[in-house]
Amino acid sequence: MKNLIKIIMMMSLVAFMTACDDDDDTNKPSDMEPGMLTVSDQMVSQNMVMVESVMFEEDGWIVIHANKADDSGPVVPDIISEPVFVEAGTKTDVMVPLTSDAMMSLEETKVWVMLHTDTGVSMDYEFDTDQTLDPPLMNLDGDVIIKPIMLMPAMIMADDQAVTNSVTLDVNAAADGWIVVHNMAGEGIELPGIIGKTAIKKGMNENVTIMLDNGVTITPGQKLFPMVHIDASPVGEYNFPGVDAPEVFGFNDMGEANIVVTSINVK
């Protein structure tokens, strides 16, 4: 009987040790994903795309690719962002700047956010010139770690209207800032001076009234040009020319950033 008890105890100990070994195996780094990416559709301010969270087991890169014209996937190897180097570990709220290669109009645009390795010269992104270096990062299933998202610009929604001393409109803003009004000069917009401004908050701003400066002459048949600006430091003080630059989204074929501006006809 005593021998039987000893045998049972030994079997139980072996089973326990085996279970512990199995647990240890599941927690080994080799069973962890080499990278993870969390990024969402978003309204973009100043051509900066925010990656909510990224994890690299080893140092790597975040890049953004354009979408193919036939919507069949990303355009590779070219990128439309600065390659952002990320050290091993988890980072949150990583900002990725778009470059002048991000040619897009002021409308919703699909792009692809992708993770790459850093296998060549450390901290030197080389995949765009040599596809054997810094290749896309793969997950444990052998799939590229990539996600398509939609980028949206700030928007001004303004109807043609009779104007005496104010303009009324809606603004969907990508960041806290300003909505300003430019007068007409010849057939175009008068720059850089403005004839009215008011502060706006990130998100939808409805029925915004912009009071025009005293002494400004507005005549039926002319145009006015509402434009969005950011609000940089010091916050709450309009500084342009200066740090409170016009809000932009993407670039045109001349390499110039698209300014968020519209026109209204004065009735």
Q: Tell me the per-residue pLDDT of 169-181, one tens digit each, with 9 for 90 and over.
A: 999 999 999 999 9
Domain termination site, one of 152, 186, 214: 152
Q: Render 169-197 in DSSP notation, one character per residue.
A: EEEEESSSEEEEEEPEETTEE--S--SEE
**Distance separating alpha carbons of residues 57 and 37, to the nearest angstrom:** 12
| Token duo for residue 59 | 């140092």
Provide the terminal-to-terminal Cα distance of the chain, rounded to the nearest Å.
105
Q: What is the CATH number of the domain that holds 55?
A: 2.60.40
Give the pTM: 0.86
Would you call 250 helix, strand, or coil by DSSP? strand
Six-digit token string for 94:
């990583």
Residue 251 covered by a domain:
yes
Residues 192 and 93 in one domain: no
Number of domains into which the chain is organized: 2
Residue 195 belongs to a domain: yes
- 135 with 185, same domain? no
Per-residue pLDDT at 24 exceeds 50:
no
144 and 162 assigned to the same domain: no
- Domain with 88 in it: 33-152
Question: Which structure tokens are listed for 101?
Answer: 């290669």
- The reply to whether 167 and 130 lie within a common domain is no
Same-domain status, 130 and 163:
no
pLDDT tens-digit profile of 85-136? Answer: 999 999 999 999 999 999 999 999 999 999 999 999 999 999 999 999 999 9
172-210 pLDDT, tens digit each: 999 999 999 999 999 999 999 999 999 999 999 999 999
* Residues 129, 159 share a domain: no
Q: Is residue 18 part of a domain?
A: no
